[in-house]
Amino acid sequence: MKLVCAALRYIFNSTFKTTGTIMSIRPILETRNATPTLEGAGVKLHRAFGFQNPTELDPFLLFDDFRNERPEDFTKGFPWHPHRGIETITYVLAGTVEHGDSLGNEGTLGAGDVQWMTAGSGILHQEMPHGNAKGQMHGFQLWGNLPSSQKMTAPRYQDVGAQEIPVVTDDDGTVVKIITGEFWGKRGPVDGIAADPQYLDISVPAGVKKTFRIDTYRRAFAYIFEGAAAFAEASIPEGVLLEKEVAGEELNIRDMSGDRTLVRFGTGDEVTVQAGPNGVRFLLISGAPIDEPVAWHGPIVMNTREELRQAVQDLNNGTFIKPAH
């Protein structure tokens, strides 16, 4: 009873705003560690999700953390390959990524830069990573699905420099980089993405408890890549409730989750995080679900098996790249 009362008291006190509106904390559906994976021409990375149940985090299909300190583990890169039916967002933290594609675009992403690519009807591209002065390479790639009405849209590409990305610092030292979407009165520079995502890079200082608003009906996940944290939740769909005290309050929270951990949230208005003794840095990403059938083969994601067969046929007969209209 003590545990239940403490949980209810926390939820009410932390979500009843001055407007009189009660907000709901998103439950944690699952936490899992990213899985070591070999991709491209032999790049070692960690995959948080992808090539499994596409409804879990609809509209997102795949999330990779490519982080290495040995050049031999990443320099062979991702040579020329096709995509159709998706969009990708690449965010570089260390090192560089050289990009080239069938549209004639060429460029180099540096630390803090973002690349957005809409594959649409079809694009061929390559991504070749290079380490920094210490040989380190770190970045993330997120795949977003396209709705059926945009599967065959014209391909597009955009590079966004680190200096264009808004950074907001709160009074408690929390720092948020806004890659896409709106947050704390600022809007990220990457737009035009079908999934209309909110993509935030968040750093919370040691011991600080912070609550972040998320649109109620968006699918959302966090990915921790530095430090550790515990996420408060309104209910526990799985696992055991733990009674802990933080800043004098008893909370229902999971044990601290650390580096390369995915946290998948259920429906609600807010996510509350308690930073560990060394602080935490994580991505908080959400998007509006598409709720359409998914037919998926490698880098091609369509709605039906017939559309997949057509894509393979197009690749084989040289008609994969559609003429510009």
pLDDT tens track for 106-149:
999 999 999 999 999 999 999 999 999 999 999 999 999 999 99
State the pLDDT at residue 196.
84
Q: Mean per-residue pLDDT for 238-244?
A: 37
**pLDDT for residue 6:** 40
Q: How far apart are CA 312 and CA 284, in angstroms?
A: 35
Is residue 170 located within the same domain as residue 160?
Answer: no
Better pLDDT: 187 or 190: 187
Q: Indicate whether 185 belongs to any domain.
A: yes
- When pLDDT is averaged across residues 221-226 and rounded to a whole number, the result is 97
Could you tell me which residues come within 8 angstroms of residue 85 by beta carbon, excluding any fewer than 6 positions away?
Answer: 119, 120, 145, 146, 151, 300, 301, 302, 307, 311
Percent of the chain with pLDDT over 70: 86
* Domain co-membership, 158 together with 176: no
> Side-chain half-sphere of 215: how many Cα atoms within 13 Å?
15
Last residue of a domain, one of 164, 183, 212: 164
* Angle, vertex CA 66, rays to CA 63 and CA 72, nearest 5: 150
CATH code for position 102: 2.60.120.10
Looking at the predicted structure, is the pLDDT value of residue 165 above 90? yes
- What's the average model confidence in pLDDT over 65-77? 95
Same domain assignment for residues 208 and 153: no
Closest CA to 125 of 324, 325, 323, 320: 320
Determine the pLDDT at residue 22: 57
Asked whether 222 and 231 are in contact (CB, 8 A), the reply is yes
pLDDT band, very low/low/confident/very high, at 9 (cuts 50, 70, 90): very low
Q: Looking at residue 193, what is its pLDDT?
A: 85
Among candidate residues 147, 171, 121, 184, the one with its CA nearest the CA of residue 322 = 121
**243 three-state secondary structure:** strand
- Identify whether 319 is part of a domain: no
* Model confidence pLDDT, tens digit, residues 278-309: 999 999 999 999 999 999 999 999 999 999 99
Does 169 lie in the same domain as 136? no
Predicted confidence (pLDDT) at residue 213 exceeds the cutoff of 50: yes
Q: Which of 150, 77, 104 is nearest to 321 (CA)?
A: 104
Positive or negative torsion for Cα 162, 40, 87, 142: negative
As a whole number, mean pLDDT of residues 300-320 equals 96
164-181: b or e for each residue (b if 16 or more CB lie within 10 Å)? ebbeeeeeeebebbbbbb
In terms of residue numbers, what domain contains 261? Answer: 1-33+165-290
Domain membership of residue 314 (yes or no) is no
CA 64/CA 67 separation, integer angstroms: 9
Residue pair 188/196 in contact (Cβ under 8 Å)? The answer is: no
Question: What are the Cα distances from residue 61, in Å, to 71, 88, 239, 295, 316?
Answer: 28, 10, 26, 12, 25
- Residue 210 is predicted with a pLDDT of 95
> What pLDDT does 38 receive?
96
Last residue of a domain, one of 164, 199, 223: 164
160 Cβ neighbours under 8 A, 6+ residues apart: 113, 114, 115, 116, 189, 190
Asked if residue 235 has pLDDT above 50, the reply is no
- Percent of the chain predicted with pLDDT > 90: 77
Q: What separation, in Å, do the N-terminal and C-terminal C-alpha atoms of the chain show? A: 66
Q: How many domains does the chain have?
A: 2
| pLDDT surpasses 80 at 236 | no
Q: Are residues 215 and 123 in the same domain?
A: no
pLDDT above 80: residue 248: no
pLDDT top residue among 230 and 19: 230
Helix, strand and coil content of the chain, in percent to the nearest 5, comes to: 10, 50, 40
